[in-house]
Amino acid sequence: MSIVVVGTVAFDKIETPFDKTDKILGGAGTYISLAASHFAENINLVSVIGGDFPDEYLSIFRKHKINIEGLQVKPEGKSFYWSGRYHSDMNSRDTLVTELNVLADFEPILPESYQSPEFLVLGNLTPRVQMQVLDQLKKRPHLIVMDTMNFWMDTAWDDLMKVIARVDVLTVNDGEARQLTGEYSLVKAAQKILTMGPKFLVIKKGEHGALLFNKESVFFAPALPLEEVFDPTGAGDTFAGGFIGHLARTKDISFDNLKNAIIYGSAMASFAVEKFGTEGLIGLTQEIIDERVRLFVDLVQFDISLVNN
């Protein structure tokens, strides 16, 4: 199996009602590839960093056997930097700083060995960059997963539509599904999005779980009710990483297995939010992950005997 992950590698500085960090390792590409590394090997990261990026962080990727040949280093530049402050509900946040730095003129380059991946995740980035990645593929992957956000709907609609038309799975949150379609009902929004190109749609609802749609079916996975949400940063990207990791591990893209992938993604996201930054994704074992998945089984399973079942 092989996965290419395209997404930001960044510094994050995070404030919550309980604590705050200095600049720590962040970025969509970081969360996606770290989460996926617990399931699959041959994960290939495409991103860009500046000369300020510490080797200590690079060794985290190496330790998780994530290939960083496609991680461009711009020695004269500074890495992408984001800072945010969470409100007391931990669901909404204010962005305090966004410094694009080397991300501003990022031109993704897929090394030769990246050009025929079995799975591809396009993390949230400008649609133009996502498109440049698609254009460098030598053959179509088994599955292309794409994340995006409301900002690109506001500023790059036409490009966004072109990328969406070329992917298999789109992941958005509930507000973005509504913005993308003008439909308030998520069921109606999903039906519309599934005419835009993707065969599958994941609607992420944060603490309220996630929905998976194809044209015929819908599946729902709750978020795990936690005593404490410590830092929601990267939860959606971690979810995507667990999702693609499970699919790559099993090489099965049936709807039934996508449901399982959603559960693994949700389990990984529950680890991410328990600690600051990527800390919750470090030191996990398959046993710990399976134990977490078992909590999801217990959380939703019920046994009703229906006549004519």
Binding site for its own copies (CB under 8 A): 88-90, 184-188, 205, 208-209, 211, 217-222, 225-229, 256, 259-260, 262-263, 290, 293-294, 297-304, 306-309
SS3 content of the chain, % helix, strand, coil (to 5): 40, 25, 40
Q: Which is nearer to its own copies, 155 or 185 (CB)?
A: 185
- Could you tell me the smallest distance in angstroms from the CB atom of residue 286 to its own copies? 8
Q: Which is nearer to its own copies, 52 or 174 (CB)?
A: 174
Q: Which is nearer to its own copies, 148 or 266 (CB)?
A: 266
- Going 290 to 296 to 302 to 308, the CA torsion angle's sign is negative
User: What is the C-alpha separation between 41 and 3, in angstroms, rounded?
Assistant: 8
Rounded to 5°, angle at Cα 202 from 62 and 293: 60
User: What is the C-alpha separation between 250 and 244, in angstroms, rounded?
Assistant: 10
3-class SS of residue 44 = strand
Q: Where are the alpha helices (DSSP H) in the chain?
A: 28-36, 55-63, 127-135, 150-155, 157-164, 174-181, 186-193, 235-250, 255-272, 286-300
Q: Which is nearer to its own copies, 76 or 304 (CB)?
A: 304
Q: Which is nearer to its own copies, 22 or 297 (CB)?
A: 297
- Could you tell me the smallest distance in angstroms from the CB atom of residue 68 to its own copies? 31
User: What is the C-alpha separation between 55 and 271, in angstroms, rounded?
Assistant: 25
- Could you tell me the smallest distance in angstroms from the CB atom of residue 187 to its own copies? 5
- Could you tell me the smallest distance in angstroms from the CB atom of residue 185 to its own copies? 6
Q: Which is nearer to its own copies, 111 or 175 (CB)?
A: 175
- Could you tell me the smallest distance in angstroms from the CB atom of residue 169 to its own copies? 17
- Could you tell me the smallest distance in angstroms from the CB atom of residue 266 to its own copies? 11
